[in-house]
């Protein structure tokens, strides 16, 4: 039993070190988990209609998130809300999806939204 608990403790220390040594702040990681969850739950045609959480016209290259729209989607999905003031201070340091700029984005719907714009991950697990 003590070997099992020791291995569990060592594993948790290794995971903690990985998080603190590199990668995103836990709040940023939680933000991206929620973005991934919400976008994966969207209908396939939502992006073309301009109702997707990702407002970018180039979803293969960029992720453009309007934070008020994100907050509404989180609330509608009954997820735990994030501290948006702290998130805004931290988002520029996103590692998993490189921050580009905050700017007005002309979405596929033709409407313009103020968005936080990030590079789309280069892996096979990228989001729309």
84-124 pLDDT tens trace: 999 999 999 998 899 999 999 999 989 999 999 999 987 65
Report phi then psi at 86, rounded to 5: -65, -40
Strand ordering across the sheet containing 62-65: 62-65, 112-119, 99-106
- Dihedral sign, Cα of residue 47, residue 68, residue 116, residue 35: negative
pLDDT digits (tens, 9 = 90+) for 60-78: 899 999 999 999 999 999 9
Instruction: Work out the pLDDT band at 36, boundaries 50, 70, 90.
Output: very high
C-alpha 115/C-alpha 108 separation (Å) is 14
C-alpha 71/C-alpha 62 separation (Å) is 20
pTM: predicted TM-score of the whole model, two decimal places: 0.77
Would you tell me how many other CB atoms lie within 10 Å of the CB of residue 87? Answer: 18
Q: What mean pLDDT is reported for the chain?
A: 88
pLDDT at 23 over 80: no
Helix (H, G, I), strand (E, B) or coil at 59: coil
CB 48 within 8 A of CB 108: yes
Please state, in angstroms and as integers, the Cα–Cα distance from residue 34 to each residue in 20, 64, 114, following that order.
21, 14, 19
């Amino acid at each position: 039993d003590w070997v099992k608990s020791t291995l569990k403790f060592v594993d948790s220390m290794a995971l903690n070190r990985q998080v603190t040594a590199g990668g995103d702040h836990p709040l940023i990681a939680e933000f991206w988990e929620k973005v991934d969850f919400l976008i994966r739950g969207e209908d396939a045609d939502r992006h073309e209609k301009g109702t997707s959480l990702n407002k970018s016209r180039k979803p293969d290259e960029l992720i453009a998130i309007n934070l008020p729209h994100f907050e509404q989607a989180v609330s509608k999905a009954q997820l735990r809300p994030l501290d948006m003031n702290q998130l805004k201070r931290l988002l520029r340091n996103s590692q998993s999806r490189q921050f580009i700029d905050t700017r007005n984005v002309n979405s596929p719907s033709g409407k313009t939204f103020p968005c936080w714009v990030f590079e789309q991950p280069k892996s096979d697990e990228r989001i729309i």
